[in-house]
Each structure stands twice: as C-alpha cells, then as structure tokens.
Amino acid sequence: MSKRQSTLLFIGSLVISGTIFLQMSIYILSMLVGWNVRFNLVAVCHSWLKVVGLSFLEYVLDVFVIYTLLFLIWKMVMHWFYAKRMKKRFELYKENALTF
C-alpha cells in the first residue's frame, strides 16, 4: 500500500468516526435539552427499531450511545493526565546545558 492510499484511508476513517461521534453527541444533546433535530442517524435507528417491532432495543441503543460517549471522555481525560505526567518526567531528565 502506498503512502497516498494510507493517508486517504486514515483521513476517511477519521471522517467516518468523527461523523458518528458528532451524530451521537447531537443525539445526547437533543435528549437532554429537548431539541427536535431534523436528521440524526441515531434517531433514524430509533424509528427503524420501532417500525420493525423491536422497541425494547431502543433503550439498549440509548445505553450504548451514552456509554460510548462517556467512555470516550474518560479515555481522553486519562490520556491527558498521562501525557501531563510523562511531560513532567521528561523535564526531570532534560539537560539544560544541551537544550536550547
């Protein structure tokens, strides 16, 4: 695989995951605030589950969306914490005479 293909694949995956994250965030905000969002992928899944007759899975979908966003926030906070701690450790080993 060439570098261009790898870059396009990476950018494509970022766009898809960012879109899903944005849709889930908008859905959670619309649940909490009471907005009536015109088009949302999660809301479409909700209505599709109702049409098919699997309305009990709506709650599972809600739990999945909330868990995913909370887990993502938790991982981001922990990554920030560990990066800050690692930066402090690197500062201890920095040689000031050789660093400009």
Residue-wise pLDDT for 6-35, tens only, equals: 999 999 999 999 999 999 998 998 888 888
What contacts 55, CB < 8 A, 6 or more positions away? 49
Among all chains, which residue has been given the structure tokens 């868990």?
A: 67
Question: Can you give the pTM of this predicted structure?
Answer: 0.72
**How high is the pLDDT of residue 87?**
94
Give the model confidence (pLDDT) of 32-87 as tens digits: 888 888 888 888 888 888 888 888 888 898 899 999 999 999 999 999 999 999 99
Is-contact 55 32, C-beta < 8 A?
A: no
**How high is the pLDDT of residue 70?**
93
